[in-house]
Amino acid sequence: MSSLTRLQATSNSLLNWIFQDKDSVIKEKPSFVFDMFVEHLDSVYESLPITTNKVDVDLLKFSRKDYQDKDLDFIIEIQNEIHKNDIFSSFLIHGSCADLNMVPGWSDFDSIAVLKKGSLSRENRYQAFETCQKIEKIMRTLDPYQHHGIHFIHEKEMSSFPSLYLPFDLLKDTKCLLGNKSITVGRVDSSMQESARFSGIVKTLAKASETGVLRHHAKDGKYLLENYEDPDTMYQLKYLMCVVMLLPTLWLNLRGTYCQKSESYILIKKYFSGEDLEFLEACSSIRFDWKKSYHAGNTIPEQVKKTLGKNYLARAAKFAILLESRLDA
């Protein structure tokens, strides 16, 4: 199996930087600046190696009637927006949005948008940006504290698809809002990048424990501080909890067991004690008891403080370091 190259990985980051509109002034740049981006990305994707390790995947059926509920109908709004323009060749949803186990106000929108080659052309790019921004706005109605956007990939990457984007074994659990009910992907190995991602998270949490500041996902110029030193940091705190709740899935993936996040909380108990998992359990309790009323501003609700407890940066780091120490056990 061929491997994910650094060039493809960094180019995908650039693609997402553009389409997630992380640079608020990027659309105001002269057109030749866009041309440079486009020419680079086109060159990269045209040069991607064609893997012979291809897999046909049947997707879960998407039925609009499953999403008529007031807490789910935003998915139908997104699907309607997707169909208005010829930008995407496929649009996959996964996680709780696909299995319908969403917690209103907490669950985020997990998706992979497959962009057609011409989406970044001079003729199409502004319409593409506008469409993506509309989808982003709709997406935020589900979770105003969502810390990630849509994951964009170029259609050429379907022939060079790394499990770093989504493990191959989990593709069968996705639903498609646009395109065929089955997809063909060319598998490339990304185990090195997946291992580096896990190590990077552990290092970030360890540094946060050491300094008392989680220097990641700031909001309004503020980072998460230890022990609620700044109580107006619910967005930042939710990011920490979401990362902690993702760690079991990443840990199991690295050990060769691929599963959804909900399954990982059960499987991880085979390897760790209740004491080891106490912070994970606290985060999970907050998720299940989450109330939409908590979205009033960015103040951390008292009930969240009571359930989570103190020293959350230190406890998150302790859990992450423990997982890393037992990766090969």
Domain membership of residue 1 (yes or no) is: no
Per-residue pLDDT at 106 exceeds 90: no
In this predicted structure, what is the pLDDT of residue 294?
62
Reduced to 3 states, what is the DSSP secondary structure of residue 230?
A: coil
Per-residue pLDDT at 55 exceeds 70: yes
* Pair (35, 101) in one structural domain: yes
The most confident of 27-36, 130-139, 262-271, by mean pLDDT? 262-271
Instruction: Report, as an integer, the average pLDDT of 5-12.
Output: 90
The most confident of 66-80, 119-133, 212-226, 279-293, by mean pLDDT? 212-226
* Pair (131, 207) in one structural domain: no
Question: Is residue 111 a contact partner of residue 141, using CB atoms and an 8 Å limit?
Answer: no
* Pair (176, 209) in one structural domain: no
Q: Which of 173, 188, 203 is the last residue of a domain?
A: 188
Per-residue pLDDT at 21 exceeds 70: no
For residue 219, the enclosing domain spans: 191-325
How many structural domains compose the chain?
A: 2
- Does an H or E element contain 140, and which? helix 125-140
Residue 223: is it exposed, middle or buried by C-beta count within 10 angstroms (0-12/13-18/19+)? middle
* DSSP assignment letter at 215: E
pLDDT band at 292 (very low <50, low <70, confident <90, very high): low
In this predicted structure, what is the pLDDT of residue 202?
98
Of 190, 184, 153, which is closest to residue 44 (Cα–Cα)?
Answer: 153
CA distance 188 to 5: 9
Higher pLDDT, 63 or 226: 226
* Pair (66, 134) in one structural domain: yes
Q: Which long-range contacts (CB under 8 A, 24 or more apart) does 20-23 make?
A: 20/132, 20/136, 20/149, 20/150, 20/152, 21/129, 21/132, 21/133, 21/136
* Pair (151, 26) in one structural domain: yes
Q: Enter the tokens of residue 306.
A: 């009571």
Of 135, 157, 150, 123, which is closest to residue 11 (Cα–Cα)?
Answer: 157
In this predicted structure, what is the pLDDT of residue 24?
54
In this predicted structure, what is the pLDDT of residue 250?
97
pTM of this prediction? 0.91
